Structure formats: C-alpha cells, structure tokens
Amino acid sequence: MRIDRLEVTNFKGFEHKIIDFSPRFNVLSGDNGTGKTALLDALAVGMGALLLGFEGIYSRTIRPAEMRHIGYQLGQELKLEPQSPTIVHCRGEVGDAGIISWERGLLKVGTQTTHHKASLIIDKAKQLQERVRAGDKSLVLPVLSYYGTGRLWLQKPEKVEIAKPNSRLSEYEGCLEPASEEKQLMRWFKTMEIAALQRKVSIGVLEGLRAAVKNCLEGCEFVYFDIPYDQLIVTKAHKQILPAHMLSDGQRTILAMVADITYKAASLNPQLEEQVALETPGIVLIDEIDLHLHPNWQRKIVNSLKTTFPKIQFIATSHSPFIIQSLREGELIDLNESQPTEYEYKSIEDIAEYQMGVEIPQRSQRYLEMMAAAKEYYRVLEQAKTSSENKRLKNRLDELTAPFSDNIAYHAFLEMQREGKT
C-alpha cells in the first residue's frame, strides 16, 4: 500500500490542500501552525479506509473536532462555526489493484464518516480477508502505523503476559492511533523467546526483529527478552548490558518504534521469517521524527529506516535541519513554500536560514538581541546630544542595557560610550 496524493477540504486548519508524496520517504516541514500533524491525521483517516473491509477492526474516522471552524465576533461573544463538508481524498496503490482513488467525508455535524466513495479499497480489503481465512501463505499484508509525539515507551516494565495466537488481521486494531500500545509488543517478544527456547530453534521473525533494531539503534549489538527478569534487555558495545527502560530517551524511542514496526510486520506476515522487515510493505506515519534524538542521530535516522524497511513508505514531520539535510530530492515537503525543495548538499546554516526562516543562524539569539540593542543604544545616544528630553532618553538607555547586565564587558563598553557622549 502506498499513498501518492492527499487532498483535504475543510479538515482542521485547511480550507483546501493537495500534497503529493514520494514513494519511499517524505518529511513535512514548516512553522508551528502550518498543519504538519493535521496532515498526518488526515492520512490516518485515508489509510483507515482499508480497515473498513476487515470484519471487527475499528477504522479511524473523521472526528467532529477535526472539521474546520471559522470564528467571528458577535457582540461580546465569540462564535465558532463548523465548515462542511470535511473531505479526505487519497490516490495511491493498494496491492494488485493498481492505482486507485478513494474518499471519506463528514458531510455535516452529527453524521458519521462516509465511505461510499471508498468502495474500491474496501473491496480490496475484503479480498485480502478472504485470502487470510483461506490460509494463503503467499499473501503479504501491509503494515499501517502512526507514531505520535507521545511515543516514549519502555518505561519500567510491569509483568508481561504471554501472547495468545490470533488472526493475522488482528494486528490492524488500533494501528492508526498515535498513542500506540507497548504491551502487545512485549507480549509477542516474550512469547517468541519462550517458543525459541522450547523448540530449540531460531525463529525467523524474531531474528528479523533483532536485525532491524541493530541496524537502527546505534551501538546495539543484541536485543532480547530475558525470561527470568521478565523485561527487554539490550547488549551494547563492550558487552554493556542494560534493561531497555534504562536507555536514554532517544535510544528508547528508536528501539520501541523499530521493534514495533517489525513486530507488526511479523504478526501480519510470519511466513516471511527473517526477511520480514525487508519484504513487508506499508505506510508508517511519524510525528516529529527527530524527537529526543541527538543531532548525530538525526542525520542518520532517515537512511537507517530506509535500509531497514525498504518497502515501507514513511511520512514524517520534523523541525530539524539535520533531518532535512539527510533527505534526497523530492522527499522534503515544505508547507511554508508549498513546493518540494532539495537541501541534500546544503549546509545546516543555509537550511536553517532559507528553508526554516532562522535569522543569521550562525549566531545565537542572545547575540542578535545584543547587537540590536547596541544599535538602538547608539541611536538614542545621538538623540541625547541635541534633545531636551535627557531624562526620558537616559531611562531608555537603562532599559536597553538592563537585560545584558550579566555580560560585564558588553555592559561596560556601552557605559563608556554613554559617558563620552552625554
């Protein structure tokens, strides 16, 4: 499954917006308030159309609060009026159905999300369900997943239960909710470790998960679920062994996300064995992909995800110039400019200044404020030489120097200029 184009109407802050996506990796960038997370939510609605064809699986709908509202003042009251219809339209590839289009909408307040214009993708899902029930071992199901900003998992663990056998399709339950479920991953991991010990064999999907984590988690040599301690353990370089919950926030974030993607792929496609991460297609949404990551890791994470999951389409958001610098042509979607831009060979300073609008990124914000204050200081000094408003101007000079009184050299220099001119 892949989405090539998203078109939204009256969705959250968008009156109308069309976005075209690369088949491999996409990063939505823009100022706060430009709608990056809103577009991920719209994509989740679009991806949720596939789930409509699976019996007993909840599909992400358009929520009433996601309708665009226009506010206006009426007397002393603020009024918010919902704008309808709210439409999410997608075009993309779904299995052997080729390129198709589908649409879901909320026609007015108080109604349910429509799906009558999503019949093609729903019919495709029904076909997939029939093949699953028939035990079709050649069927490869797509991973669908959404990782929101609250994805810092692997806190100090509780007792982990054993996972019971279930339908392949059960893994789609809740897959498009940004707050994902850690317990399912831990249950599966523990169950696979016990099965490998009992059978005295290497289990392909479990080894595939270990390989995926090692490829993305820098410094990781091995990851396993320790049965006696009942928790996830990571072996790092120089034989350092740590419980997963004791890793840094950045390490835990990457470990949990990569393990979860692979676990979902393994649950959907166990027949792929150790090739499960390499051979499973799908769509993964990640809000703020740089969350908790050191700049060195930010520069590598996009390529790590591409090589670990080569058949998955990633759509992420980011404010990081290091993430943007790592992208290839066509992978950056700039919501400020509305045009794809290439920054693969540009410096961090160029990206920060020209793509992200940061003024003189080579200098700190405090330095810029000091220089602006100094310019204003000199302008006021010149005024003081000829003005009769000496008291007001002297007060203004005091205001300009006060925020920087902790910088003794800067403050002394301005005071010397002042004594020489007033």
pLDDT tens per residue, range 190-204: 999 999 999 999 999
Which pLDDT value is given to residue 338? 43
How many Å is the Cα radius of gyration of the chain?
Answer: 27
DSSP conformation class of 406: T
For residue 153, count other CB atoms closer than 10 A to its CB.
Answer: 22
Residue tagged 């400019």 (tokens): 337
End-to-end CA distance of the chain: 73
In angstroms, the Cα distances linking 196 to 49, 206, 221 are 37, 9, 19
Interval 22-48: pLDDT, tens: 999 999 988 888 899 999 999 999 999
Residue type at 230 in one-letter notation: D
pTM of the model: 0.81
* Contact status, residue 109 vs residue 65, Cβ threshold 8 Å: no
pLDDT for 296 equals 81
pLDDT class for 164, splitting at 50, 70, 90?
confident
Question: Has residue 159 got a pLDDT over 80?
Answer: no
pLDDT at 419 over 70: no
Instruction: Retrieve residue 420's tokens.
Output: 């020489």
Instruction: Tell me 154's DSSP state.
Output: -
pLDDT of 358 over the 60 cut = no
Confidence check: pLDDT of 154 > 60: no
User: What was the pLDDT predicted at 416?
Assistant: 73
Q: So what's the pLDDT on residue 247?
A: 87
- Which residues, other chains included, contact 39 with Cβ-Cβ below 8 Å and sequence gap of 6+? 6, 8, 17, 19, 28
Q: List C-alpha distances in Å: 148 to 178, 253, 286, 289, 310.
A: 4, 11, 6, 9, 22
Taking a C-beta distance cutoff of 8 angstroms, is the pair 307, 322 a contact? no
Is the C-alpha dihedral spanning 163, 164, 168, 170 positive or negative?
negative
Using CA atoms in the order 26, 32, 37, 39, what is the torsion angle rounded to 10 degrees? -70
Tens digits of per-residue pLDDT, 224-239? 999 999 999 999 887 8
- Segment 55-67 mean pLDDT: 93
Q: Is 60 exceeded by the pLDDT of residue 83? A: yes
Query: Quick one: pLDDT at residue 286?
Result: 96
Phi, psi torsion values for 7, nearest 5 degrees? -130, 125
pLDDT tens digit string along 183-192?
888 889 999 9
On the question of pLDDT at 339 being above 60, the answer is: no
Q: Reading across the β-sheet that carries 99-106, which strands appear in turn?
A: 14-20, 2-11, 86-93, 99-106
pLDDT tens digits along 281-338: 999 999 999 988 888 888 889 999 999 999 999 999 998 888 888 888 889 998 886 4
Share the mean pLDDT of the chain.
Answer: 85
CA–CA dist 124, 120 (Å, integer):
6
Beta pairing partners, 100? 92
pLDDT at 396 over 80: no
| Cβ burial 62-88 (10 Å sphere, 16+ → b, else e) | beeebbbeeeeeeeeeeeeebebebbb
Residue 313 in tokens: 């389409």
